[in-house]
A and B are shown apart, each in its own frame.
Chain A
Amino acid sequence: MKPSSEVLLRCRRITRRWGGIVAVNNVSLEFVRGSVHAVIGTNGAGKSTLINILSGEYPPSSGEVELLGHDVTGWTQPRRARAGLGRSYQRNTIYPTFSVFENCRLAAQARHQRPWSWWRSSLANTRNNEEAKAAAARAGLGDLLTRTAGLLSHGQKRQLEIAMCLATAPQVLLLDEPLAGMGAEETERMLALLNELKEGHAMLLVEHDMDAVFRIADRITVMVNGAVIASDTPDQVRNNADVQAAYLGGH
């Protein structure tokens, strides 16, 4: 098997109902190492619900999730995270009162937690420190380690979200609108970062910025009312008549 076709995350026939509303309807997708798989759709199409089910925030009403060859449908979110699933949120979920370094260090700590050595300073774990610094540097925050996270610019906060994901050394990245609210320059920087991260990771990207999506994605899935209406390469999706009618509006 070629490494490029290695499926790291897969869901089969995922459905999620909220009372009478079907938020996600019979969705089956695969996420492959080394590629960016974008999921697009209007607000309420079920993209965030899909991410939440994949990451384990809540279970699907039916269907299965498979991570690195394990059936993880019954696993809690923290267990999936430790197994290699990293996610970022649509809204900033950084720890605003901690430094940039501490945000990343705490994320790195998740994989080797050692809660019982209560007398040792958290900073005594040099492996965590190095991983945190490396993750911050990779996300472009290497010079801002001591900055209080709440004082960062919006774009930097989004970068920190990614850095915290990276500090947990994930194999799969679920990124919920990493470009939301960014200026042109910040967007370029983030896209360059995501392009870099493609290698070695399977990436799910939920994003509203269509130009960015069509530039970076290797595969695009279009959701309407909880169901997948197309899942293909960007060119195929662009020319898909259903997609144009439902979403792109002749884009």
Chain B
Amino acid sequence: MDGIGIQRGKLAFVLLVFLGLAAWPAVAGNYGVDLVGKIMISSIFALSLELLVGTTGLVCFGQAAFFGIGAYAAALLMSQSGSSSLWWLLPACVVCAGLYALAVGALSLRTRGVYFIMVTLAFAQMAYYVVHDTPLGGGTDGIYLPGKPGLGTWLDLDKPLAFYGFTYVCLLAVFGFLALLLRSSFGRALAGVRVNEQRMRATGFSTFPYKLASFTISGAIAGLAGFLFAVKDGVVNPELMSWHQSGAVLIMIILGGLGHLRGALIGAFALALLEEFFKSEAVFGAFAKHWHLGLGFTIILSAAMLPRGLVGIPALWRERLEGRARALDAKSSSKEGIREAVV
């Protein structure tokens, strides 16, 4: 397949995914709608990290902090009557997460490599202990949201279908925003920073503001995911900010395939569905309570066998087919060669 064909294939895949997600509530029951709604939130979260890791080349191990801040902001900023308008609550939560990301980025982006990973983790743990150990965050139990935000009579996020639709629109908006961003001058500069930051500086790019902008946007998007998560569950707790969350979202984008937006989508779905699968007692019976084992083993296996992630499977198949075709060619031509030699 030529390059344009591959591009079209990717576009068709993304369109199909979004069409499928739009049609899903028509065929699925309550459980299915709830599950896919949750996965779409994870997808937004994974997309936020993809911008940092896959595009800018910054491995952040504290992404859960921004997710959690978005969620806690929803719980803390909502009026006690529980009838806050989405108009201001959603942007406020996103801005809170973005501001924390701006502060963390301003400090942590001065470090590199493994130090950057450690510093982002440290800032996330700081946020974790703030909500865990101070009266502000309600301790281990967390905080219940007094209600669900809405838009007057227009949109009531208490209804599962309305929430699904709203999450879908958010995911579509984030995906579209990032797709535009990555092909813009800004996105190309981020890609340059990932490949060779030194050269970017020598060419005339002050790379720090670019990295900080990327970090802040990423934190804000993670905050949006956190907001949706809080509204969906109606409760927030410190676990949202734990390093397990930061790890899980990293696994999603690695499993899906770094460097591709659709990799984040695929990874979020794959991880959640694998978890559902290994937790299913219908399949595994009593062993289902050891689901971590099966999930972990699968992730190790996929990391070993799919270095480019799930996104890389079509290319792997193409290469294998082409390789086989070449091998066949070589075989037949060598046979001909022998025949000629014999004749």
Residue A100 CB within 8 A of the other chain: no
One digit per residue, 1 when the CB lies within 8 angstroms of any chain A CB and 0 when it does not, for chain B 167-191 equals 0000000000000110111111101
Instruction: Determine chain A's interface SS by DSSP, over half rule.
Output: loop
Stretch at the interface among A16-24, A31-39, A71-79, A242-250: A71-79
Report whether B195 and A121 are in contact in the complex, using a CB–CB cutoff of 8 Å: no
Report whether A109 and B181 are in contact in the complex, using a CB–CB cutoff of 8 Å: no
Q: Give the shortest distance, in Å, between B203 (CB) and chain A (any CB).
A: 5
Residue B198 CB within 8 A of the other chain: yes
Most chain B CB neighbours (cut-off 10 Å) among A105, A113, A114: A113
Q: How far is the CA of A55 from the CA of B198 in the complex (A)?
A: 12
Residue B199 CB within 8 A of the other chain: yes
One digit per residue, 1 when the CB lies within 8 angstroms of any chain B CB and 0 when it does not, for chain A 123-162 equals 1010000000000000000000000000000000000000
Stretch at the interface among A7-15, A91-99, A199-207: A91-99
CB-CB nearest in chain B for A88: B202
Report whether A81 and B204 are in contact in the complex, using a CB–CB cutoff of 8 Å: yes
Report whether A114 and B185 are in contact in the complex, using a CB–CB cutoff of 8 Å: yes
Report whether B189 and A115 are in contact in the complex, using a CB–CB cutoff of 8 Å: yes
Q: Give the shortest distance, in Å, between B236 (CB) and chain A (any CB).
A: 31
Report whether A122 and B183 are in contact in the complex, using a CB–CB cutoff of 8 Å: yes
Q: Which residues from 190 to 247 on chain B have a C-beta closer than 8 Å to any C-beta of chain A?
A: 191-192, 195-196, 198-207, 210, 213
Instruction: Note all chain A residues with C-beta closer than 8 A to B213.
Output: 115
Q: How far is the CA of A96 from the CA of B202 in the complex (A)?
A: 17
Report whether A110 and B180 are in contact in the complex, using a CB–CB cutoff of 8 Å: no
CB-CB nearest in chain A for B206: A78
Q: How far is the CA of A50 from the CA of B195 in the complex (A)?
A: 26
Q: Give the shortest distance, in Å, between A107 (CB) and chain B (any CB).
A: 5
CB-CB nearest in chain A for B207: A78
Most chain A CB neighbours (cut-off 10 Å) among B181, B198, B202, B205: B202
Residue A117 CB within 8 A of the other chain: yes
Sort chain B's interface into a size bin: 20 to 34
**Contacts A118-B181, A122-B187, A122-B188 known; A95 to B205 CB distance under 8 Å?**
no
Instruction: State which of A94, A119, A168 has its C-beta within 8 Å of the C-beta of B204.
Output: A168
Q: How far is the CA of A105 from the CA of B185 in the complex (A)?
A: 10
Report whether B206 and A79 are in contact in the complex, using a CB–CB cutoff of 8 Å: yes
Report whether B180 and A109 are in contact in the complex, using a CB–CB cutoff of 8 Å: no
Report whether A97 and B203 are in contact in the complex, using a CB–CB cutoff of 8 Å: no
Sort chain A's interface into a size bin: 35 or more
**Contacts A78-B205, A115-B213 known; A122 to B192 CB distance under 8 Å?**
no
Report whether A81 and B201 are in contact in the complex, using a CB–CB cutoff of 8 Å: yes
**Contacts A77-B201, A106-B203 known; A95 to B180 CB distance under 8 Å?**
no
Instruction: Note all chain A residues with C-beta closer than 8 A to B200.
Output: 110
Q: Give the shortest distance, in Å, between B136 (CB) and chain A (any CB).
A: 35
Residue A47 CB within 8 A of the other chain: no
Q: How far is the CA of A16 from the CA of B313 in the complex (A)?
A: 52
Report whether A118 and B203 are in contact in the complex, using a CB–CB cutoff of 8 Å: no
Report whether A95 and B192 are in contact in the complex, using a CB–CB cutoff of 8 Å: yes
Report whether B185 and A109 are in contact in the complex, using a CB–CB cutoff of 8 Å: yes
Q: How far is the CA of A19 from the CA of B200 in the complex (A)?
A: 29
Q: How far is the CA of A94 from the CA of B198 in the complex (A)?
A: 11
Instruction: Note all chain B residues with C-beta closer than 8 A to A102.
Output: 188
**Contacts A89-B199, A97-B195, A115-B210 known; A106 to B188 CB distance under 8 Å?**
yes
Residue A2 CB within 8 A of the other chain: no
Report whether B204 and A122 are in contact in the complex, using a CB–CB cutoff of 8 Å: no
Q: Which residues from 65 to 87 on chain A have a C-beta closer than 8 Å to any C-beta of chain B?
A: 76-79, 81-82, 87
Q: Give the shortest distance, in Å, between A172 (CB) and chain B (any CB).
A: 13
Report whether B196 and A95 are in contact in the complex, using a CB–CB cutoff of 8 Å: yes
Instruction: State which of A78, A111, A121, A168 has its C-beta within 8 Å of the C-beta of B184.
Output: A121
Q: How far is the CA of A87 from the CA of B213 in the complex (A)?
A: 27
Report whether A113 and B202 are in contact in the complex, using a CB–CB cutoff of 8 Å: no
Instruction: State which of A55, A95, A117 has its C-beta within 8 Å of the C-beta of B195.
Output: A95
One digit per residue, 1 when the CB lies within 8 angstroms of any chain A CB and 0 when it does not, for chain B 137-173 equals 0000000000000000000000000000000000000
One digit per residue, 1 when the CB lies within 8 angstroms of any chain A CB and 0 when it does not, for chain B 40-63 equals 000000000000000000000000
Q: How far is the CA of A246 from the CA of B130 in the complex (A)?
A: 66
Residue A53 CB within 8 A of the other chain: no
Q: How far is the CA of A120 from the CA of B204 in the complex (A)?
A: 21
Question: Can you report 10 A-B residue pairs in the complex whose CB atoms are below 8 A from each other?
Answer: A76-B206, A77-B201, A109-B189, A110-B203, A111-B204, A114-B185, A115-B186, A118-B187, A121-B184, A168-B204
8 closest cross-chain pairs (CB), A and B: A110-B204, A81-B204, A115-B186, A82-B204, A93-B199, A78-B206, A95-B195, A110-B203
A residues at B contact (CB < 8 Å): 55, 57, 76-79, 81-82, 87, 89, 93-98, 102, 105-107, 109-111, 113-123, 125, 164, 168
16 extra A-B contacts, CB within 8 A, seeds A110-B204, A114-B185? A76-B206, A78-B201, A79-B204, A87-B202, A89-B199, A93-B199, A94-B199, A106-B189, A110-B203, A110-B205, A115-B186, A118-B184, A118-B187, A122-B185, A122-B188, A125-B185
